[in-house]
Amino acid sequence: MVGAVVRGSRKARRPGESGRHQRGHPPGGHAPVTWPRGWVAYLLLAVLPALVFANALPAQFVWDDFDLVVNNVLLRIPGGFVQIFQTDPFGFPLSLGQYYRPIQTVTFWIQYRLHGLDPMPYHLFNVALHVVDVLLLFSFLLRLGLRRPLAFLASLAFGLHPLAVECVTFIAVRGDLLLLFFALLALHSLLFVVRGRHGSAWVVGIVLSVALALITKESAVVVPVLLVLTAWTLRPVPRRVWIGVSAAFAVTVAYVVVRATLHLSAVAPAVLSNIAYATPFERAVTVCRVVATDLRLLLFPYQLHIEYQFVERSLGSPWVFVGAPLAILFLAFLWWRAAKVDRPLALYFLGWFVVGIGPFFQIVPLAQTMAERWLYIPSVGFLSLLVLAGASVPPQWRRSATVLFVVWVAALGVQTHLRNRDWRDNETLFGGDLVLASDSFLVPHNYGVVLFQKGDYAAAQELFETSIARAPGGGYGTAHNSLGAVLEVLGDIEGAEREFGRSIRLSRYALAFSGRGRVLTRLGRPQEAIGVLQDGLRSYPRNPDILYYLGDAYAALGQWSEAAGAWEQIPPGIPGLGDIQGRIREAKRRAGAR
């Protein structure tokens, strides 16, 4: 790699120092390689990732972007900002949600007021935030004591890596970008405390950054552990460092207790994923494949797709008895080589990677077995360890190793640019992933939605039925709702009502309430429709679709005042609902004429 390095004197080094006291001072008395110098490094780390992700800017809203941004009523109703902190990211009551991520939704709320539903500014924000994360990471690695060329290469690999595509190009998972941002702020604050700069203020910065990270994404529970690793690596550190870390842990424990209490008292449906229905033994052996797959994707990120639902059920799987040992041996080899350069930093980066992937070991079952976006933060530790290990190559191989690494990083950038194109719209994304995600029940459903919107109802129905057949447990409520929509279009109203009912029983899916209420009214059963729709409003207050069809049901009964009251609760600007104000005026006219 770039320049041979050995450990400097711990007593002589302080975080952020350079020159001969910085970790990575080459042996033999030669001056260390410091390129790229000064602002040039920051400029390159800003420009290169921005160029690689530039083709993400014209992309449309995809997948959960519609639920979290386009159709999220909290972004447009009066008092929506306050309700953001009282609901899950989809605007549903906490009793029905698995997540609490108000900080991410606040950024959507601000952007909606600035530029409405133009997707480009949302993509631009994500790209800019990723660039900021790269710059903060570079600065942190320098201040931690890593030599400038090594810190630059690690940050550049992170900035160009295809595993960042899902976080950057998928607007709905902006939380991963924000989480790393707050984590790096906490780590920088810790380093400021170590250096004695306004200690009390930076201790508050540590705690505040951790608190914001926790309400950005649940995996932020690892941030206090990263703080401990950092302080331990830099020891001895001032006493107030441990005060700040302890306070961060206290905030995290309080958060976990509150979230666990809310989750246990919730009435939300169980997590629907293959791994959630696996036995404890199957989850344990599946972790072996997860680790092996993580390393494969970090080193050779090809055949990327959006959902991984695999489950290993036997110790005889090659992923378990071959893949996992090879993965562990490879990590041990990297640590051994990196330890020749700097043992504490080698252990630190290995620890970062292990801690980073820890929340995804399925101790608490998640919505899928693994996801590429879950490697956004762990990749920091792995790539830094890889660069540090590369710095231990013998002098005669150093130039070749550097060239090889730069070529690999360039290939990462090309792959990232190509993968961005897959995210330009739903049809490209789900159609391209349909073959690769062969164990997924979500991808065929989502591609079926695309075909439904294009009017290919027969193909959509087949994909919805495939999704239902693949789904674990009792079934996939969302797919039953979509199948009901197809049957309704094809004229099988009773079949549609049956599928909407199944969706409600399985997952209390919001659209299933509005769909069932709609078809019950069409079947001449508006009083029954009102009961279904009012039940839906108890779970999804002010849901525009439910309110719309509730008004229709009242109108079918001639209850025009009640119809007008339902329609008046619909926030303005909801796409696809037609002239609501005209309906309200007509309903009031009819009510007054009675």
State yes or no: pLDDT of 21 exceeds 80. Answer: no
Closest CA to 376 of 362, 396, 360: 360
CA separation for the pair 273, 368 (Å, rounded): 5
Q: How far apart are the first and last CA of the chain?
A: 85
pLDDT for residue 7 is more than 80: no
| 528 CB-contact burial (10 Å; exposed 0-12 / middle 13-18 / buried 19+) | middle
Percent of the chain at pLDDT exceeding 90: 65
Read off the pLDDT band of 380 (50, 70, 90): very high
User: Among candidates 469, 568, 480, which has minimal Cα distance to 516?
Assistant: 480
Residue at 97: amino acid letter: G
- The residue written with tokens 């504490």 in the block is 344
Determine the pLDDT at residue 498: 96
β-strand partners of 93: 87
Q: Token pair of 585, please?
A: 């005026």
Among 563, 567, 509, smallest CA distance to 535 is for: 509
Average pLDDT over residues 431-458: 92
pLDDT at position 473: 80
Of 138, 136, 179, 176, the closest CA to residue 155 belongs to 138
Residues 400-424 have a mean pLDDT of 94
pLDDT one-digit tens code per residue, 339-360: 999 999 999 999 999 999 998 8
Q: Which residues of 294-316 are buried (b: 16+ CB within 10 A; e: fewer)?
A: bbebbeebeebbbbbbbbbeeee
pLDDT at position 31 over 80: no
For residue 245, give the amino acid letter: V
What 3-state class would DSSP assign to 6? strand
Give the pLDDT of residue 399.
84
E strand or H helix that includes residue 388: helix 378-390
pLDDT at residue 200, rounded to an integer: 81
The residues near 252 (Cβ < 8 Å, ≥ 6 apart) are 210, 214, 220, 221, 223, 224
Residue 93 three-state SS: strand
Exposure of 317 in the CB half-sphere (CA atoms within 13 A): 19
CATH topology of domain 441-507: 1.25.40
> What pLDDT is attached to residue 331?
96
Q: What are 556-565's pLDDT values in tens digits? A: 999 999 999 9
Q: What is the pLDDT of residue 97?
A: 63
Total H helices, total E strands in the chain: 26, 0
Residue 448 and residue 482 in contact, taking contact as beta carbons nearer than 8 Å: yes
| Tokens coding 435 | 């073959």
| Tokens 């207050």 found at | 541
Query: Has residue 381 got a pLDDT over 90?
Result: yes
Closest residue by Cα to residue 126 from 71, 165, 156, 84 = 165
Separation of alpha carbons 153 and 156, rounded Å: 5
Query: When comparing pLDDT for 60 and 261, which is higher?
Result: 60
| Three-class SS state of 513 | helix
Distance CA 497, CA 356 (A): 45
State the average pLDDT for the chain: 88
The pLDDT score that the predictor gives to residue 8 is: 34
One DSSP character per residue, 329-373 reads: HHHHHHHHHHHHHHHHHHHHHHHHHHHHHGGGSSSS--SSSB-GG
According to DSSP, residue 571 is labeled: P
C-alpha span between 506 and 480 (Å, rounded): 9
Query: Measured between alpha carbons, how far is 32 from 316 in angstroms, rounded to an integer?
Result: 49
For residue 51, is pLDDT > 80? yes
pLDDT at 268: 52
Q: Are 289 and 326 within 8 A, CB to CB?
A: no
The pLDDT value given to residue 230:
95
- For the chain, what are the domain ranges? 441-507, 520-594
Same fold for the domain at 441-507 and the one at 520-594?
yes
Cis amide prior to 236 (ω within 30 degrees): yes
Give me the mean pLDDT over the 394-418 stretch. 91
Q: What is the pLDDT of residues 255-300, one digit of tens each?
A: 998 887 776 555 555 678 899 889 999 999 999 999 999 999 999 9
CA 19 to chain centre: 39
| pLDDT at residue 298, as a whole number | 96
Predicted confidence (pLDDT) at residue 5 exceeds the cutoff of 50: no
- Among the listed residues 540, 539, 493, the one whose alpha carbon sits nearest the alpha carbon of residue 515: 493
pLDDT at residue 32, rounded to an integer: 53
- Residue 263 has what pLDDT? 63
In the three-class reduction of DSSP (H, G, I as helix; E, B as strand; rest coil), residue 121 is classed as helix
pLDDT value of residue 231: 93
Cα–Cα distance for residue pair 296/301, rounded to 1 Å: 7
Cα Rg of the chain (Å, integer)? 27
Residue type, 59: A
Q: Is 576 exposed, middle or buried (0-12, 13-18, 19+ CB in 10 A)?
A: exposed
| Cα separation, 454 vs 582, whole angstroms | 29
Distance from the Cα of residue 434 to its chain's centroid: 21
Tokens 């990462």 -> residue: 412
What residues pair up with 125 in beta bridges, in sequence order? none
pLDDT tens across 529-583, in order? 999 999 999 888 878 899 999 999 999 999 999 999 999 998 777 777 788 888 9
Does the domain made of 520-594 have the CATH classification 1.25.40.10? Answer: yes
110-169 pLDDT, tens digit per residue, is 999 999 999 999 999 999 999 999 999 999 999 999 999 999 999 999 999 999 999 999
Distance CA 288, CA 314 (A): 11
Helix or strand run (H / E) with residue 207: helix 199-214
* pLDDT higher than threshold 80 for residue 95: no
3-state SS, residue 308: strand
Contact partners, residue 3, CB within 8 Å, separation at least 6: 24, 26, 32, 33, 147, 149, 391, 398
Dist. CA 453–CA 456, nearest whole Å = 8
Q: Looking at residues 168-190, what average pLDDT do you find? A: 96
3-class DSSP assignment, residue 87: strand
Contact 75, 108 (CB under 8 A): yes
Beta bridge pairs of residue 370: 308
- Dihedrals phi, psi of 87, to nearest 5 degrees: -135, 175
The predicted pLDDT at position 96 comes to: 61
- Encode 7-64 in three state secondary structure: CCCCCCCCCCCCHHHCCCECHHHCCCCCCCCHHHHHHHHHHHHHHHCHHHCCCCCCCC
Q: Which two tokens stand for residue 142?
A: 């320098």
Do the Cβ atoms of 480 and 495 come closer than 8 Å? no
